[in-house]
Amino acid sequence: MIAPREDRERGAALVELCLIAGLLLVLAFGVVEFGSAWNRELQVETASRAGARVGSSLGNQRMADYGLLQAAKAALNSIGMSNVNYVEVYKTTAADGSRPSSCAGTNPTSQTNLCNVYTGSYLNTMSQADFTGTSSCGSTAPDRYWCPTSRQAVQSLGADYLGVWIKAQYTTITGIFHSPFYMTSEAVMQLETNS
């Protein structure tokens, strides 16, 4: 016996609905994930610019790195410090403002006279007392590798360019897409001059 035509059409419509609904669901999840990831990327970019701006304005003052880390931390607070991998403060001499090759890489380390690297977990626990010394960096100070007091902030001598590079991770909300994603952003500014 053959089923009546109406029953066959209802069955076909149900199959079509399932196929289309599945595609629409994936599309909706994709929009949610893309929007959330884009928001996270904007927060990381804002943090790198805020850090560079504060670091530039503080020039070669002893507490420059502490101030710029506080500015970056404030901008990153909504994403959580557990999602921040690195904040790197570096000296750049390249025309494009790129990070020194010895400081670059996915897991950077501090390098003498080039960069200070801070982890997200350090940002969570740092205090002003960590940045010891009044006119130079102490031997255990986290900014001792490229001490702020050694930075050139005199225009006629060629003021240094300070860069702030941030790497953070984003874990997807729905879990249907590969996770985590890593986002990076950098901002470079010339130190404001003393004279």
Asked if the model's pLDDT at residue 127 lies above 80, the reply is: yes
In a domain, 195, yes or no: no
Which amino acid, one-letter code, is at 10? R
Whole-number pLDDT of residue 47: 96
* Lowest-confidence segment of 9-13, 37-41, 126-130, 181-185 by average pLDDT: 9-13
Surface-to-core class of residue 95, CB atoms within 10 Å of its CB (0-12 exposed, 13-18 middle, 19+ buried): exposed
43-99 per-position pLDDT tens digit: 999 999 999 999 999 999 999 999 999 999 999 988 888 999 999 999 998 778 889
Domain hosting 53: range is 5-190
CB 137, CB 149: distance < 8 Å: yes
Residue with tokens 């927060």: 43
Domains: count for the chain = 1
Inside any domain, residue 139: yes
The band of 7, judged by pLDDT with boundaries at 50, 70 and 90, is low
pTM value is 0.84
What pLDDT does residue 10 have? 64
Interatomic CA distance for residues 80 and 177, integer angstroms:
21
How high is the pLDDT of residue 6?
Answer: 59
CB-CB contact of 61 with 148 (8 Å): yes
pLDDT of res. 106: 82
Among 84, 55, 39, 62, CA closest to 143: 62
Cα separation, 41 vs 187, in Å, equals: 14
- What percent of the chain lies above the pLDDT cut of 90? 53
Q: What sign results for the dihedral spanned by CA atoms 166, 167, 171, 177?
A: positive
